[in-house]
Chains A and B, each alone.
Chain A
Amino acid sequence: MADRKEPKSKYTVDRKTPGAFEGETVTRRRAMVVAGQAAGGVAAAAFVLPALGFAMGPIFEKQDQPWQPVGKVDEFNDESYVPRTITLVEGIGDAGKSTVYIRKYNPDLDTEPRDEYNSYIAISTLCMHLGCPVRFTAAAQRFICPCHGGVYDIVGKVSGGPPVRPLDRFYTQLEKDAVLIGPRFSVNSELRRFSPRDPGEPLDGVGQYLYPSRPSMRKIQGT
């Protein structure tokens, strides 16, 4: 047996290096290992990193949310909601549209201070539990979600069921006698404005830090 073995290099004989051959030194072996791993790593990174960046890109891209008219001032009242269809994403037809419920600011109902963006209240129809479509039921004066029994009162605050925060809203503005709808924002249970979050992400307490806002959509600065 012994004579069939290759003669071990005297530099590596007591190191049990697999595949060692005569004259191989430790430093040469180590240099080749490091060079092989580094070159392979660079080559792999050269296709993995661009591909990842390509797939992740949209997360960090700011999306424009242009203001769009939804109707004349006299089409809306301050007691009940009027549904209107708006376009959230251009260029994909009906798949980019959504329904919002709009009414005039009503000092008896709305507790948040008046400013230039809330003379009309525009409420999103995505349930803040998991995003099912909610409907305003006039008889009950409630927004009701059919999925898991989420119920919201007339200003969009949660009055029952599992939703984690009030219904999202949209900024509104007046241009002459037309009502314009702008970007979406989220509100916590005191109706304070936050950058838009997805459904299921609470904003009270530590919620706003556990579910950070994303670069793709921000609320209007200073509101």
Chain B
Amino acid sequence: MNKQEKEQYLRDYGTLKSQGKPFFPYAVAKDSAMAIVVMAVIIAMSIVLGAELGPKADPTSTTYTPRPEWYFFFLFELLKVIKPPALVPLATIGVPTICLILLFLLPFYDRGPERRPERRPIATTAGIFVVCAIGYLTYLGAAAGPPTEIDIPIPANVSSQGPEAVANFEAGSQVVAQSGCAACHRFGENGNSGPGPALTNIGARLPAQAIQRTLLNPSAPMPSFSALSEESPKQFAQMVGFLAALK
């Protein structure tokens, strides 16, 4: 904004202001009504959702899946999106710091006199993009279950084969979950999308024999499950059966 534009703005603003109403009581009434809404929301949330306290902090746990408060989900998910180890500091510190600096300096690089959002296409597009990106990452963070649990509805072709097949399917799901497969593979809503491929409908792509071959002789970095097949052939069979039923 040059000097002339500044003067123009101040003049226009002065006119608008002189046509306005006094802050007290007109704006204060609106603010107070909003304050009541805010308090009503907080009190309702407190009554409905309570202040649930989880189990006591246990640093010796090896089964707990840490998750941040929901408004940090987008930062947490960013760490899943940026995977290579060399880029970890970029995901943890780099991107948030750059975004914050851009946010701080916004009035210093966006100096045009125009204020209407529809006449500032770059700023408005960038703003909407950031809102969508944060919203999408927050959604991903909220939807992802911990990879130590696999929660998949029983497929129709399994439930039609009677209760024994259902029991086998559920036992296989248990074995897969406890073996940590979901740390690298995605199963529907559960698990991480990478490094391994999604297994949500692996049964449609590979027959049971091929799945068994891959489990015994995988390509790196996937571990071999030959130890499991020797120690507990039943569990191994349940694992293969579960994966083959995912269609």
Stretch at the interface among A21-29, A34-42, A105-113, A129-137: A129-137
A160 contacts across to B, CB distance below 8 A: 184, 195-196, 221
With an 8 Å Cβ cutoff, the count of chain A residues facing the other chain is: 40
Contact A135 B92 (CB under 8 A): no
Cβ of A102 within 8 Å of any chain B Cβ, yes or no, is: no
B84 within 8 A of A: yes
| B179 with A140: CB separation less than 8 A | yes
How far, in whole Å, are A141 and B220 apart by their CA atoms in the complex?
Answer: 13
Inter-subunit contact B85/A140 (CB<8 Å): no
Q: Interface size on B (CB < 8 Å)?
A: 43
A134 with B92: in contact, given A144-B183, A162-B85 (CB under 8 Å)? no
Tell me the bound Cα distance from A163 to B66 in angstroms.
Answer: 16
User: Does A146 contact B147, Cβ atoms closer than 8 Å?
Assistant: yes
Interface presence of A145 (CB below 8 A):
yes
Mask of A132-166 contacts with B, CB within 8 angstroms, 1/0: 11111111111011111111010000111111100
A97 at the binding interface (Cβ < 8 Å): yes
| In the complex, per-residue mask of A195-218: 1 if CB is within 8 Å of any chain B CB, else 0 | 000001010000000000000000
- Say yes or no for A83: interface residue by CB 8 A criterion: yes
Task: Say yes or no for A85: interface residue by CB 8 A criterion.
Answer: yes
Provided the pairs A138-B227, A141-B227 are in contact, do residues A146 and B92 lie with their beta carbons within 8 angstroms? no
Instruction: Let me know if A137 and B178 touch, CB within 8 A.
Output: yes
Chain B residues whose C-beta falls within 8 Å of the C-beta of A136 in the assembled complex: 62
Q: Write the chain B residue with the least CB distance to A211.
A: B89
Q: Given A162-B88, A200-B88, check contact A134 B62 (CB 8 Å).
A: yes
Which residues of B from 214 to 247 have beta carbons under 8 Å from A?
A: 220-221, 223-225, 227-228, 235
Question: Is B63 on the interface with A (CB-CB < 8 A)?
Answer: yes
Question: If the complex has contacts A94-B59, A97-B60, A99-B62, are A158 and B195 also in contact, measured as CB distance less than 8 A?
Answer: no
B76-134 at interface with A (beta carbon < 8 Å): 79-80, 82-86, 88-89, 92
Chain B residue contacts of A164, Cβ below 8 A = 85-86, 88
Indicate if the CB atoms of A133 and B62 lie closer than 8 Å. yes
Q: Which residues of B contact A130 (CB under 8 A)?
A: 79, 92
Closest CB in chain B relative to A188 CB, distance in Å: 12
Asked whether, in the complex, the Cβ of B227 is within 8 Å of the Cβ of A162, the reply is no
Q: Do B225 and A140 touch (CB < 8 A)? A: yes
Give residues of chain B (187-229) contacting chain A, Cβ–Cβ below 8 Å: 192, 194-196, 220-221, 223-225, 227-228
Name the CB-closest residue of B to A164.
B85
Contact status A149-B178, CB under 8 Å: no
- Cβ-defined contact, B179 with A98, below 8 A: no
Complex A-B: 16 CB contacts under 8 Å:
A85-B60, A98-B59, A99-B61, A129-B79, A132-B65, A133-B62, A135-B62, A139-B178, A146-B64, A148-B80, A148-B83, A149-B184, A151-B180, A161-B83, A162-B83, A164-B88
Residues of A within 8 A of B (CB): 83, 85, 94-99, 125, 129-130, 132-142, 144-151, 153, 158-164, 200, 202
Task: Give residues in B with beta carbon < 8 Å to A.
Answer: 56-66, 79-80, 82-86, 88-89, 92, 146-148, 175, 178-181, 183-184, 192, 194-196, 220-221, 223-225, 227-228, 235
